[in-house]
Structures are given as structure tokens and as C-alpha cells.
């Protein structure tokens, strides 16, 4: 793996670059992105060796291409790289949704599709950009790969090695199972955090409310500081499963609301105890 080309040198892309450098997987790491200031930061922080001055040449010579941009940019990037791809190049992504990514890759890459493998590192932060990258981001964190019957053995092995060398725990699953699971445990919580903060900002006494907000509010809403563009894309890309989970959550809130209205202390306590027990067992 001599040359790695990274589209999107932010928190995830930059952290991959750092770990690939440290493990000796790449001697030339090239960054591509729309934000020139961010790319300058990436060079200054030594996340990448350089930015691409001849993209066609860098695509053709790349051993691995990593797409670490918001998922809505994925089709455009695939269309950009396809005409210049070598048959030896492995392509992967780091997106939080997988079905849309797989469908785009199949449609656009055509005969090169076997060289692609979807990926999703379960690591991150509400911070973003090259300045947020750090070398231990993936240490002991789960990474999901979504190969299918067409995925080449080389793609599985090279991308598996890339993540294992970053300290990650690698698992495989289908793209559909991935999107259903992460709608519930990641996407819905982000939507709830964004919605709560937005609801408060609509209040006439928003400043007063925020003045007295403490650790509970801070913990619950930390992820509302995440990239709005990225989460807009994720929300639309995983629409099917997110809408199902919103419906389940609406039913749950309705049950709690009715219990409060009827002062059903037993039902309220049972709900809270079940949630508390599950949360404590999971966190330990």
C-alpha cells in the first residue's frame, strides 16, 4: 500500500491517514477536498503528505482510495474516479449509512465494483475537520465492513488490515442489517439531540433556559454539536429505517405521556427501572 488517496481529510479521514502513516502502510498519502483551509491544516498537522495537483494521475496510481466525505458527495466522487481507476486499486468509504453507498457503487463502478468494500468506523466526536483528527481515534473501536458476494478477497484483506493496524475491532455484516441497527443506536439519538436543542432555541426564553442548563443537558445534547451537513445527509440516506424508529419512539413517548397524565407511578417507575438497568449493564 504505497499510495493512499483520501477524499475528505476531516476527523475520520485525517485519523485514518495518521494511523496508516504510523503503521507504515503508506509512503504517500494524498488529500482531496473542497475546503482549502482544511487541507492546509491537514498538511500543517502532517496528516497527509500533500494535496492532489493531478487528480487523474493520483487516482490511477492509488493503491487505496478512501472516501471520507458526507455521504451525499459519494456518487459524484465515484463518477470522478471511475474513468481513471486501475484494476488494482481498492476503494472504501467510512459513511454512516451503507445501503445507499452500495447501490451507488454498483451502479457507477460497474466492472470495478468488486474492488469496493463499504466501511463504517464506530468512532467519532462532535468535533470535525482536520484539526480534530488523532491517531488513537479507532483504538479498540468497532469498524463494520459490508462486503457482499462480489467483493474481492483483496479488498477484504487490504481494508481489514488497514483498520486492524489502526487498532480497530473489525466485524462484517450486510448493508441492510447495518443501516437498521445504526438507525436505532446512532441516527435516532442524534435526531433527538438536534431536535431538543432546536426546540429550546424556538422558545422566547431560550437564553434563560440555556443559562441554567447543567450536566444532564450537556451530556444529552453533546452530539447536537456534530456536523449539520453530515447528519442531514445521513438522515435522508437512511430515511426508511429512521422513519420506522421515529414511529417506535413516538409510541414510547405516548406511553410515557399517558402514564404521567394518569399519574401511573408504577408504570413510570417500571419504565425508568428497565432503562436504568439496561444502561448500567451496557456501560459496564
* Residue 1 confidence (pLDDT) above 70: no
Is 146 buried (19+), middle (13-18) or exposed (0-12) by CB count in 10 A?
buried
pLDDT at 11: 93
What is the CATH classification number for the domain harbouring 193?
Answer: 1.10.3660.10
CB-based contacts of 255-262 (< 8 A; 24+ apart in sequence) = none
Do 116 and 135 fall within a single domain? Answer: yes
Q: What is the pLDDT of residue 2?
A: 86
Which CATH number goes with the domain that contains 105? 3.40.50.720
pLDDT of residue 248: 98
pLDDT digits (tens, 9 = 90+) for 161-220: 999 999 999 999 999 999 999 999 999 999 999 999 999 999 999 999 999 999 999 999
Model pLDDT for residues 82-119, shown as the tens digit of each residue: 999 999 999 999 999 999 999 999 999 999 999 999 99
Average pLDDT, rounded, for the chain: 94
Mean pLDDT of 48-69: 95
Residue 224: per-residue pLDDT: 95
Which of 119, 147, 173 is a domain's end point? 173
- Indicate the SS3 state at residue 118: strand
Overall average pLDDT of the 57-75 stretch: 94
Indicate the residue among 138, 173, 208 that finishes a domain. 173
State the sign of the Cα–Cα–Cα–Cα dihedral 91, 74, 168, 182. Answer: negative
Indicate if 158 and 181 belong to the same structural domain. no
- H helix intervals, the chain: 11-22, 36-44, 55-61, 74-81, 99-109, 153-165, 175-182, 188-201, 206-212, 215-221, 228-237, 239-261, 265-283
Percent of the chain with pLDDT over 70: 99
Task: Based on the fold, state whether residues 150 and 29 are members of the same structural domain.
Answer: yes
Both 130 and 190 in one domain: the answer is: no
* pLDDT at position 126 over 80: no
What average pLDDT does range 244-267 have in this prediction? Answer: 98
- Domain range for residue 19? 3-173
| Contacts made by residues 41-49, CB under 8 angstroms, sequence distance 24+ | 41/129, 41/130, 41/131, 42/9, 42/14, 42/17, 42/130, 42/133, 45/14, 45/130, 45/131, 45/133, 46/21, 47/9, 47/14, 47/17, 47/18, 47/130, 47/133, 48/6, 48/9, 48/14, 48/17
22-43 confidence digits (pLDDT tens): 888 888 999 999 889 989 999 9
Q: How many domains does the chain have?
A: 2
Provide the 8-state DSSP code for 136. Answer: T
pLDDT at position 173: 96
Amino acid at each position: 500500500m504505497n499510495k493512499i488517496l483520501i477524499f475528505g481529510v476531516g476527523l475520520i479521514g485525517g485519523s485514518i491517514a495518521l494511523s496508516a502513516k504510523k503503521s507504515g502502510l503508506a509512503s504517500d498519502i494524498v488529500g482531496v477536498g473542497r475546503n482549502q483551509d482544511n487541507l492546509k491544516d491537514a498538511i500543517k498537522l502532517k496528516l497527509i503528505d500533500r494535496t492532489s495537483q493531478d487528480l487523474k494521475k493520483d487516482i490511477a496510481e492509488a493503491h487505496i482510495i478512501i472516501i471520507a466525505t458526507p455521504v451525499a458527495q459519494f456518487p459524484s466522487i465515484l463518477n470522478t474516479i471511475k474513468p481513471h481507476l486501475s484494476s488494482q486499486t481498492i476503494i472504501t468509504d467510512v459513511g454512516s449509512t451503507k445501503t445507499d453507498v452500495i447501490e451507488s457503487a454498483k451502479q457507477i463502478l460497474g466492472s470495478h465494483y468488486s474492488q469496493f468494500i463499504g466501511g463504517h468506523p464506530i468512532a467519532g466526536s462532535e468535533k470535525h475537520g482536520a484539526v480534530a483528527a488523532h491517531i488513537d481515534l479507532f483504538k479498540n473501536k468497532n469498524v463494520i465492513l459490508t462486503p457482499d458476494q462480489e467483493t474481492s478477497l483483496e479488498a477484504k484483506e487490504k481494508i481489514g488490515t488497514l483498520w486492524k493496524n489502526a487498532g480497530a475491532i473489525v466485524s462484517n455484516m450486510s448493508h441492510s442489517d447495518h443501516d437498521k441497527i445504526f438507525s436505532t443506536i446512532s441516527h435516532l439519538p442524534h435526531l433527538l439531540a438536534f431536535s431538543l436543542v432546536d426546540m429550546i432555541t424556538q422558545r422566547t426564553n431560550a437564553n434563560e433556559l440555556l443559562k441554567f442548563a447543567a450536566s444532564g443537558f450537556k451530556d444529552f445534547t453533546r452530539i447536537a454539536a456534530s456536523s449539520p451537513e453530515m447528519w442531514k445527509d445521513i438522515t435522508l440516506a437512511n430515511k426508511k429505517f429512521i422513519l420506522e424508529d421515529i414511529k417506535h419512539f413516538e409510541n414510547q413517548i405516548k406511553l410515557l405521556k399517558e402514564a404521567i397524565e394518569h399519574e401511573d407511578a408504577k408504570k413510570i417507575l417500571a419504565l425508568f427501572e428497565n432503562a436504568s438497568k439496561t444502561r448500567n449493564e451496557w456501560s459496564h
